[in-house]
Amino acid sequence: MQLNEEDRQRRGLENRPTTIVSFQEKLEARQQAADSDVCLGLDSDLGQIPDFLKRGKFASESMTSFNMQIMKEVHPYISVIKPNSAFYEARGIEGQKALRTTVKSIKRQYPDIPVILDAKRGDIGNTNEQYAMAVFDEVDADAVTLHPTTGSSYFKDQELILGALEPFLRRKDKGIFILCRTSNPDAGQFQDLPIPLREIPPEYKERYGDLTELGEIMESHTVPLYLVTAYVASRFWNVNGNVSVIAGAIYPEQLGFIRKVVGDMLILVPGIGKQQGDLEGTIRLGKNSNGRGMIINSSSGIIFASDGEDFAMAARDQAMGLRDRIRELKQTA
């Protein structure tokens, strides 16, 4: 969707360079420069922010101050940040202001660090047009997390047509992260649902694609739904090379299955830290053929390491420790 000049000026786009650097390129450059695969989850719950930062201040001021003090200490040890929009939306206008100010400040002070907005959007046509504008044009995120269940492709006269998620997928310079296997205990209720590939009718294959290759990769005629998601996202939706997947560190074996299906595609791995994900198993089973291919997220385990005046320094120590531990495990994996 094209923006008119008034929209471009309002969103601060008029002075942007014409050379477009994709999210993937920006992330890879940052990973190499920082020698880090750590994704910092800025899930800045106002209720957990130290009290001294909140006295006499609006919520937006407190949240932004907390975020930027964290970034000042943590930025040398991370490759990407991932604010979860829920923690900002919950605070209304003040939270939205904090999110926008934080992203704007990070892009000004740390322009080489990309921003993933963990918004978990996903709807149909016109709604996704608005969601994409909100995420990429208003917030100015470099990437976004999406739900896959609306679908996003079908075949018409043997031609692949991008559907529901197309407003996101067509943004070639942006990163698109598709939820496959989440880290919550009840994730398997739907995500592990077994799909008998031999029983898929021909009319489904004609319209949505043949999954025979997936069975061959897994050497099984029955696979869980999350692997169908990973296969479809990697084979049919990644037409612009900007699609990645999400798999939680709580279930490293399933992460390994996803890696087998998606090849060298980038995987975002949440669940490290307070969710007690298996970091060693994640590195061993999740790395790609180049020994990388992952960004490993920790949120509250880093940003809420302390509720005292040393909160930013404590966050630094946690981020540095995670970066170093990932380095060690990659060398031995």
Residue range 34-111+306-333, CATH number? 3.20.20.70
Which of 72, 107, 120, 330 does the annotation list as catalytic?
120
Span 113-140, pLDDT tens digits: 999 999 999 999 899 999 999 999 999 9
- Residue (of 247, 320, 284, 328) closest to 40 by Cα position: 320
- Residue (of 108, 97, 32, 120) closest to 71 by Cα position: 108
Cβ count near 76 (within 10 Å): 14
Amino acid letter at 141?
A
User: What three-state secondary structure class fits 243?
Assistant: strand
- Residue (of 235, 241, 177, 180) closest to 209 by Cα position: 235
Span 171-187, pLDDT tens digits: 999 999 999 999 888 99
Span 43-64, pLDDT tens digits: 999 999 999 999 999 999 999 9
120 is catalytic: yes
CA distances from 203 to 150, 215, 222, 234, 235 (A): 19, 18, 19, 22, 19
243-247 vs 175-181, strand pairing mode:
parallel
User: What's the whole-model pTM score?
Assistant: 0.92
Residue range 115-298, CATH number? 3.20.20.70
Indicate the domain borders of the chain: 34-111+306-333, 115-298
User: What value does the mean pLDDT take over residues 201-216?
Assistant: 97
Give the model's confidence band at 7: pLDDT under 50 very low, under 70 low, under 90 confident, else very high: very low
- Token pair, residue 228, equals 């169908």
Give the model's confidence band at 19: pLDDT under 50 very low, under 70 low, under 90 confident, else very high: low
Same fold, 34-111+306-333 and 115-298: yes
| Sign for the pseudo-dihedral over CA of 252, 256, 261, 264 | positive
